[in-house]
């Protein structure tokens, strides 16, 4: 549908709130010629030059600006503060420990951003220095693009890109039009027609053009690509002539001139003021649920950190109350310290403790999460299964911040046209006054009223009817905005209109229109071209008819119709109007309304897209009035849109109905299969469409959104006309709740096949009524709640007749409802942009309606079917990976820092660090960073095939289940347990015993005592090993990379420790670690205790895992086990549904089901697989089998279990 521009318009105007009322305007002197004296004096404004600056930094401001940008992030700022505190006060750890990681992170980010900016500079330079042709003093000269100024007259030849926003003055075509493709702006590859100002279109040479004396008044630049108002004042013979300028005169920077030899145009917006530049605004940031949990955890840890510091500070002063403890003779303070005020001392101590424990919130977590997201998103890009050969497109990731959100989706809002369907329109039939015409595929200029398909409502067409019929065909041929593209070479893909003649094909922004014009071609009327504002039609008798196009009342989604006013060769003036039935019927005064209406409804039920066609004869007086109305509206500088709409409303009335057309839009490949999978995965799928209810619901049935047993609830204008909205809502909610009240027992099985589910249909008008904020009394405000309640209990909802903004409203309503579900919106057109941006995750389909949706989406996929893999596989993996990443990071830092906290109790709360500086610094950067990063990139707990085959696994991770507080507490508790084991294990080995290296291995009779650094190193060694092994235990997918990284990290730790302690490092002013690690390794008890402590730390987690797996296995775990048993062949043949977690009861009835099951062999498997299969059968005795679907026929079961791709298409 061609309704998309207005959506975008509303959308963009939402962005630039306030600019609507911007009355400021600018005046442009064409070729910088002053207006003749006597005219209103303008103050010449200063305009920027045509330089495009997309780079953020310059060479000089890079460092300060980039630093500022980076430290604006809370995390970085926190670490900076810690670092500064370390520099200022006497702290336990060297500033290097937090400075180095911070420096590392900041530097890496700065390098990355610097590189990106350098690329931008390069691109900017390429653009800014490219040559443009400018008319100066009657000559065309060449200039660098950046030197272009407002008011310059630019000369552009075919296939060149416009260097700035231009007003078309004249073109090489006689009618002053030019064709433009805006593919690089909004992705629409169709050719759009732009018009030169009527009074200047005759100036066709550079001399002539430079003689133009005119000024242009227009609004200041705004970002709406499709909106422009202005006025040109031409001073020809002293008398200035004012002409309106609209978006049809404005050529945008970035668009390309096509099919036109050359044009002259004047620059009005340059550089950063062009609409293209204004549209490069950053999109609003979406944050994923995982990120929110992460921030919550962070707050908890910050609280822990602060309370740890407070506790220790308080205890320190309690403990020091005895002066001999505070300052024993062997450990005296300096005089300066003694004189410091106690409060200052306490505060310094507090800061010192903060510094000591600050590692609990590691810098590297942010870096790792960001790297994981960035690198991980490449797997989406690389996915070959999401590559579409037909389009030659692969998935696109516009933001990697939301990868894991793909695994959390609860509501899917999908567009219908182009998303569920192919948006590949095919003309099916038309109906003129009740007579149905079906074109045959091979019927050249011959009317074939399809003999068997014709629906004879009326008697056979008489001569009068034949006139009407031809009028209808002409109307369809004329009432459109299709262009004819003529191509010299015959391209195999394109459709030729006429064999033998020069090949040409139709282009339009609306596929419906192309389908209609092509359909007319097959019915005998061929639209040839538009030339000199005349449309040419080849009629049935191969004669060319010419119609002068007087006005085009273009399409918009509010009116849902378009009209043309033409004058035939006989001089009569007609208005032809084409539009949705709902917008045509109220304006019709005569014609066979009932018959057409019946046919339209019939077609809509079949799932066809219908349009009605009507006409009106305009008398010369009426036409004058129309012209008057339109020109007044068009000249308005303000509120032009509204005035135009009003004018259109006045003009498109008193129509005579001609007939209706029907166009089919086929379902996309595997759309039904995908929807079914989404349903099984526990997602609620809503279809939001602008289409009419009958068409949309037919599509819904075809795509299995509604099943045969779905009980449809209607909430439409039709019903609310009979009953009040209030009653209808209460009725519906009663129905739904009664049903569910009685069904709770059965439905708990979680499978949707065995009970009737509900489907709701609501239309735009009713929705507005429901959403209207309470006006009379309090109870109307409850409608929304009530409505939400009903929706919550429906597995599928169809919203038809939706305006684009309503789509976003619905998404917002669900998003903000009390469960705060995660929503996903998917669509292909500009009318879906609003909901794509509103939803948590927005997915664009690379459809035929341009690139608007793709550009504004978070992810883009070629086809709807790819959504399945996107959510069920990629989303699932990313969620598992990120949640482990987050939990593990907090865990490993608790284990890291908690022993240090405990150590304070044994060192007089003196902030003595337990570990050496190098260990404190490198723990998060290098010893434990790579394994978790690699885990979070390549972990696969279950094979991708199984995930795809068994969508219900998706439910296992629903509602952010892996990051619930309970699991967070488990991880933290595990961390604290491990920390306690490590610390007190080491403590009891050191305390009051001679835990020493006896050195007997090297020299007899020597013995060496260990000091505090050995104590710390022992704890640290256990720590690094435990934490790494814990990750190894969680890894389900050991590729060579995992082995390399995990064992490599441990090896690195050992090698580093040996090196660090093995050399007197000249740059260090302390040598406390010298030989500490080696001496520790030379001690037998140290080895024994390391082994003991690691085992003890890991023990409870292993036991918990095994017991939980045995007692309360999740579906995921059952399938892992089964997959393991069948050595990865599970995915190929096993009925996974049987593995689902079922209440353990009644084995008898299940046996019978097994027999039935056996009676339906699913596939002819290879013999080996058959053996496996029978094994499987035996084993199912122990677990419940899926309740049989209501339709117990074999083929359906096939598709349910075997994954056979049976696709129903309309």
Beta bridge partners of 110: none
Buried b (16+ CB within 10 A) or exposed e, 498-512: eeeeebbbbbbbbbb
Contact status: 1095 vs other proteins (CB under 8 A): yes
Distances (CA, A) of 832 to 275, 823, 1066: 21, 14, 65
Q: Which of 415, 763, 858, 1101 is catalytic?
A: 415
- Flag whether 828 is marked binding: yes
Contact status: 1069 vs other proteins (CB under 8 A): yes
Which residues, 69 to 108, sit near other proteins by CB under 8 A? 92
Contact predicate 588/655, CB 8 Å? yes
What does the block give as tokens for 580?
């949705």
| Strand ranges inside 58-147, DSSP E | 131-136, 139-144
The 834-853 site mask, x for binding other proteins (CB under 8 A), equals --------------------
Contact status: 711 vs other proteins (CB under 8 A): no
Q: How far apart, in whole angstroms, are the C-alpha atoms of residue 575 and residue 614?
A: 8
Q: Min. distance of Cβ 389 from other proteins in angstroms?
A: 7
Question: Of 821, 755, 765, 756, whose CA–CA distance to 788 is shortest?
Answer: 821
Distances (CA, A) of 780 to 432, 726, 730, 776, 777: 45, 8, 12, 7, 7
Distances (CA, A) of 69 to 65, 72, 110, 578, 1152: 6, 5, 10, 54, 68
Question: Binding other proteins by CB under 8 A: which of 389, 541, 542, 722?
Answer: 389
Contact status: 642 vs other proteins (CB under 8 A): no
As a dihedral over the C-alpha atoms of residue 975, residue 978, residue 984, residue 989, rounded to 10 degrees, the angle is -150
Question: Binding other proteins by CB under 8 A: which of 21, 282, 324, 1164?
Answer: 324
- Flag whether 338 is marked binding: no
Contact status: 334 vs other proteins (CB under 8 A): yes
Distances (CA, A) of 968 to 132, 720, 931, 1025: 61, 49, 20, 22
Q: 795 vs 1083, which CB is nearer to other proteins?
A: 1083
Q: How far apart, in whole angstroms, are the C-alpha atoms of residue 1106 and residue 1109?
A: 5
User: How far from chain centre, in Å, is Cα 50?
Assistant: 33
Q: 310 vs 1088, which CB is nearer to other proteins?
A: 1088
Instruction: Select from 16-24, 180-188, 264-272, 1002-1010 the region that touches other proteins (CB under 8 A).
Output: 1002-1010
What does the block give as tokens for 726?
């209030």
Q: 166 vs 845, which CB is nearer to other proteins?
A: 845
Beta bridge partners of 688: 415, 799
The 556-595 site mask, x for binding other proteins (CB under 8 A), equals ----------------------------------------
SS3 for 234? strand
User: How far from chain centre, in Å, is Cα 726?
Assistant: 36
Phi/psi for 423 (5° steps) reads: 60, 35
- Flag whether 1121 is marked binding: no
The three-state DSSP-derived secondary structure of 1061-1079 is: HHCCCCCCCCCCCCCHHHH
Instruction: Select from 20-28, 148-156, 440-448, 993-1001 the region that touches other proteins (CB under 8 A).
Output: 993-1001
Which residues, 141 to 160, sit near other proteins by CB under 8 A? none
Question: Binding other proteins by CB under 8 A: which of 42, 104, 1037, 1056?
Answer: 1037
- Flag whether 417 is marked binding: yes
Instruction: Select from 128-136, 444-452, 656-664, 1179-1187 the region that touches other proteins (CB under 8 A).
Output: 1179-1187
Which residues, 944 to 973, sit near other proteins by CB under 8 A? 944
- Flag whether 707 is marked binding: no
- Flag whether 1021 is marked binding: no
Contact status: 1007 vs other proteins (CB under 8 A): yes
Residue 155: which H helix or E strand, with range? Answer: strand 153-157
Other Cβ atoms less than 10 A from the Cβ of 47: the count is 18
Question: Binding other proteins by CB under 8 A: which of 45, 198, 756, 1006?
Answer: 1006
Contact status: 1129 vs other proteins (CB under 8 A): no
Radius of gyration from C-alpha coordinates of the chain: 37
Which residues, 780 to 799, sit near other proteins by CB under 8 A? none
Helices 62-71 and 96-128: crossing angle, nearest 10°? 120
Question: Binding other proteins by CB under 8 A: which of 1125, 1188, 1204, 1210?
Answer: 1125
- Flag whether 772 is marked binding: no
- Flag whether 340 is marked binding: no
- Flag whether 689 is marked binding: yes
Question: Binding other proteins by CB under 8 A: which of 1003, 1155, 1164, 1193?
Answer: 1003
The 722-761 site mask, x for binding other proteins (CB under 8 A), equals ----------------------------------------
Q: 181 vs 1014, which CB is nearer to other proteins?
A: 1014
Q: Min. distance of Cβ 702 from other proteins in angstroms?
A: 23
Contact status: 330 vs other proteins (CB under 8 A): yes
Contact status: 392 vs other proteins (CB under 8 A): yes
Contact predicate 924/1005, CB 8 Å? no
Question: Binding other proteins by CB under 8 A: which of 387, 730, 1029, 1056?
Answer: 387
SS3 for 556? strand
Q: 81 vs 944, which CB is nearer to other proteins?
A: 944
Distances (CA, A) of 1194 to 375, 1152, 1202: 44, 17, 11
SS3 for 541? coil
The sheet carrying 191-195 orders its strands as: 191-195, 177-181, 256-258
Question: Of 1021, 997, 975, whose CA–CA distance to 1085 is shortest?
Answer: 997
- Flag whether 801 is marked binding: yes
Instruction: Select from 110-118, 402-410, 575-583, 1074-1082 the region that touches other proteins (CB under 8 A).
Output: 1074-1082
Contact status: 372 vs other proteins (CB under 8 A): no
Question: Binding other proteins by CB under 8 A: which of 605, 1107, 1171, 1190?
Answer: 1107
Helices 804-815 and 764-771: crossing angle, nearest 10°? 50
Alpha helices in 1076-1160 (DSSP H): 1076-1081, 1084-1111, 1115-1125, 1130-1133, 1148-1159
- Flag whether 807 is marked binding: yes
What does the block give as tokens for 1167?
């013999």
Contact status: 985 vs other proteins (CB under 8 A): yes
What does the block give as tokens for 1137?
């549904």
- Flag whether 609 is marked binding: yes
Contact status: 527 vs other proteins (CB under 8 A): no
Q: How far apart, in whole angstroms, are the C-alpha atoms of residue 735 and residue 866?
A: 36
Is 415 an annotated catalytic residue?
yes
Contact status: 912 vs other proteins (CB under 8 A): yes
SS3 for 935? helix
Q: 454 vs 944, which CB is nearer to other proteins?
A: 944
Instruction: Select from 253-261, 441-449, 605-613, 992-1000 the region that touches other proteins (CB under 8 A).
Output: 992-1000
Residue where the block lists tokens 């001073």? 235
Which residues, 225 to 254, sit near other proteins by CB under 8 A? none
Contact status: 997 vs other proteins (CB under 8 A): yes
Question: Binding other proteins by CB under 8 A: which of 38, 463, 492, 586?
Answer: 492
Q: How far apart, in whole angstroms, are the C-alpha atoms of residue 911 and residue 489?
A: 82
Which residues, 866 to 895, sit near other proteins by CB under 8 A? 877
Judged by CB under 8 A, how many residues of this single chain contact other proteins?
113
Which residues, 260 to 289, sit near other proteins by CB under 8 A? none
Buried b (16+ CB within 10 A) or exposed e, 551-561: bbbbbbbebbb
Contact status: 995 vs other proteins (CB under 8 A): yes
Q: 235 vs 317, which CB is nearer to other proteins?
A: 317
Contact status: 1135 vs other proteins (CB under 8 A): no
- Flag whether 349 is marked binding: no
Which residues contribute to the annotated binding site? 415-417, 513, 555, 578, 609, 689-691, 801, 807, 828, 831-832
Which residues contribute to the annotated binding site for Mg(2+)? 415, 417, 828, 832
Which residues contribute to the annotated binding site for ATP? 415-417, 513, 555, 578, 609, 689-691, 801, 807, 831-832
Catalytic positions, written as ranges: 415
């Amino acid at each position: 549908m061609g309704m998309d521009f207005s959506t975008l318009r509303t959308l963009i105007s939402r962005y630039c709130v306030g600019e609507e009322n911007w009355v400021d305007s600018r005046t442009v002197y064409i070729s910088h010629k002053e207006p003749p004296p006597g005219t209103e004096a303008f103050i010449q404004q200063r305009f920027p030059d045509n330089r495009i600056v997309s780079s953020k930094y310059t060479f000089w401001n890079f460092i300060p600006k980039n630093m500022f940008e980076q430290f604006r992030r809370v995390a970085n700022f926190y670490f900076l503060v810690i670092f500064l505190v370390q520099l200022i006060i006497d702290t336990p750890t060297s500033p290097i420990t937090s400075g180095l990681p911070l420096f590392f992170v900041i530097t890496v980010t700065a390098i990355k951003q610097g590189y990106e900016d350098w690329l931008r500079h390069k691109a900017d330079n390429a653009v800014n220095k490219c040559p443009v042709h400018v008319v100066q003093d009657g000559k065309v000269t060449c200039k660098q693009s950046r030197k272009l100024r407002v008011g310059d007259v630019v000369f552009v030849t075919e296939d060149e890109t416009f260097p700035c926003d231009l007003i078309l003055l004249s073109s090489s075509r006689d009618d002053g039009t030019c064709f433009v493709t805006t593919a690089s702006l909004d992705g629409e590859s169709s050719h759009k027609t732009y018009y030169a100002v009527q009074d200047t279109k005759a100036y066709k040479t550079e001399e002539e053009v430079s003689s133009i004396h005119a000024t242009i008044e227009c609004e200041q630049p705004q970002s709406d690509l499709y909106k422009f108002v202005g006025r040109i004042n031409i001073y020809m013979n002293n008398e200035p002539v004012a002409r309106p300028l609209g978006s049809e005169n404005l050529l945008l920077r970035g668009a390309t001139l096509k099919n036109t030899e050359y044009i002259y145009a004047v620059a009005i917006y340059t550089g950063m003021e062009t609409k293209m530049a204004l549209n490069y605004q950053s999109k609003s940031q979406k944050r994923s649920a995982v990120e929110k949990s992460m921030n919550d955890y962070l707050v908890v840890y910050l609280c822990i950190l602060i309370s740890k510091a407070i506790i220790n500070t308080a205890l320190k002063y309690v403990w020091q109350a005895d002066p001999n403890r505070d300052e024993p003779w062997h450990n005296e303070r300096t005089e300066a310290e003694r004189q410091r005020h106690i409060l200052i001392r306490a505060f310094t101590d507090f800061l010192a403790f903060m510094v000591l424990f600050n590692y609990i919130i590691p810098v590297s977590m942010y870096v790792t999460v960001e790297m994981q997201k960035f690198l991980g998103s490449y797997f989406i890009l690389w996915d070959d299964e999401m590559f579409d050969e037909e389009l030659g497109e692969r998935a696109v990731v516009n933001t990697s911040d939301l990868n894991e959100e793909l695994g959390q989706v609860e509501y899917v809002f999908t567009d219908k046209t182009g998303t569920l369907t192919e948006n590949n329109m095919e003309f099916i039939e038309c109906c003129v006054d009740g007579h149905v015409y079906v074109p045959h595929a091979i019927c050249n200029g011959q009317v074939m009223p399809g003999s068997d398909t014709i629906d004879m409502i009326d008697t056979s067409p008489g001569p009068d009817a034949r006139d009407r019929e031809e009028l209808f065909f002409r109307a369809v041929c004329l009432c459109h905005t299709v262009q004819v593209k003529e191509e010299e070479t015959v391209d195999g893909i394109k459709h030729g209109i006429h064999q033998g003649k020069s090949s040409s094909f139709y282009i339009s922004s609306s596929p419906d229109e192309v389908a209609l014009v092509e359909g007319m071609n097959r019915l005998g009327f061929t639209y040839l071209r538009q030339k000199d504002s005349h449309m040419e039609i080849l009629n049935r008798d191969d004669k060319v008819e010419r119609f002068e196009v007087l006005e085009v009342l273009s399409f918009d989604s509010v009116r849902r119709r378009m009209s043309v006013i033409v004058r035939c060769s006989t001089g009569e003036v007609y208005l032809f109007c084409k539009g949705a039935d709902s917008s045509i019927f109220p304006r019709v005064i005569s014609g066979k309304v009932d018959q057409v209406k019946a046919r339209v409804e019939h077609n809509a039920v079949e799932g066809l897209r219908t349009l009605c066609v009507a006409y009106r004869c305009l008398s010369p007086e009426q036409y004058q009035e129309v012209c008057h109305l339109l020109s007044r509206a068009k000249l308005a500088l303000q509120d032009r849109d509204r005035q135009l709409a009003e004018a259109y409303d006045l003009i498109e009335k008193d129509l005579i109905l001609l007939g209706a057309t029907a166009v089919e839009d086929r379902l996309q490949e595997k759309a039904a299969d995908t929807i079914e999978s989404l349903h099984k995965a526990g997602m609620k799928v809503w279809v939001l469409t602008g289409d009419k209810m009958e068409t949309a619901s037919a599509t819904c049935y075809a795509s299995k959104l509604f099943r045969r047993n779905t009980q449809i609830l209607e909430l439409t204008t039709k019903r609310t006309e009979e009953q009040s909205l209030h009653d209808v809502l209460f009725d519906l909610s009663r129905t739904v709740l009664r049903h569910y009240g009685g069904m709770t027992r059965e439905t708990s099985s979680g499978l949707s096949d065995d009970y009737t589910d509900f489907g709701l249909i609501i239309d735009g008008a009713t929705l507005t009524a429901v959403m209207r904020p309470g006006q009379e009394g309090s109870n109307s405000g409850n409608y929304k709640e009530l409505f939400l309640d009903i929706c919550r209990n429906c597995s599928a909802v169809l919203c038809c007749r939706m305006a684009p903004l309503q789509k976003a409203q619905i998404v917002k309503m669900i998003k903000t409802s009390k469960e705060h579900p995660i929503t996903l919106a998917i669509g292909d057109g500009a009318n879906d942009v609003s909901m794509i941006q509103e939803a948590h995750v927005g997915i664009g389909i690379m459809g035929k309606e341009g690139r608007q949706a793709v550009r504004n989406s978070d992810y883009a996929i070629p086809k709807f079917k790819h959504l399945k893999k996107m959510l069920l596989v990629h989303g699932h993996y990313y969620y598992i990976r990120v949640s482990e990443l987050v939990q593990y990071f907090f865990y490993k830092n608790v284990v890291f820092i908690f022993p240090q906290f405990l150590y304070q109790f044994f060192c007089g709360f003196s902030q003595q660090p337990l570990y050496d500086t190098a260990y404190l610094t490198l723990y998060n950067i290098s010893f434990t960073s790579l394994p978790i990063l690699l885990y979070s990139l390549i972990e696969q707990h279950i094979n991708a095939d199984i995930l795809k085959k068994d969508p219900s696994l998706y439910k296992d991770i629903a509602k952010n289940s892996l990051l619930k507080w309970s699991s967070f507490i488990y991880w933290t508790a595990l961390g604290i347990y491990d920390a306690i084991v490590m610390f007190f294990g080491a403590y009891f080995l050191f305390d009051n015993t001679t835990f020493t290296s006896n050195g007997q291995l090297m020299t007899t009779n020597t013995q060496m005592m260990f000091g505090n650094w050995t104590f710390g190193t022992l704890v640290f060694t256990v720590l690094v090993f435990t934490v790494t092994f814990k990750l190894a235990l969680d890894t389900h997918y050991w590729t060579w990379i995992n082995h390399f990284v995990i064992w490599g990290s441990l090896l690195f730790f050992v090698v580093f420790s040996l090196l660090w302690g093995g050399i007197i490092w000249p740059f260090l002013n302390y040598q406390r670690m010298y030989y500490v690690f080696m001496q520790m390794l030379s001690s037998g008890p140290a080895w024994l205790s390391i082994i003991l402590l690691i085992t003890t730390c890991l023990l409870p987690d292993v036991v918990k895992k095994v017991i939980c797996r045995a007692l309360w296995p999740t579906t995921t775990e059952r399938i892992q086990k089964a997959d393991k048993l069948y050595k990865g062949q599970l995915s190929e043949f096993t009925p996974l549904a049987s593995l689902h977690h079922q209440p353990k009861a009644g084995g008898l009835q299940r046996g019978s089901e097994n027999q039935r099951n056996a009676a339906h062999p699913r596939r002819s498997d290879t013999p080996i697989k058959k053996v496996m299969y029978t094994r499987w059968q035996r084993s199912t005795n122990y677990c419940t089998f899926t309740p049989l679907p209501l339709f117990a026929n074999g083929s359906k079961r096939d598709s349910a279990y075997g994954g056979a791709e049976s696709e129903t298409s309309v």
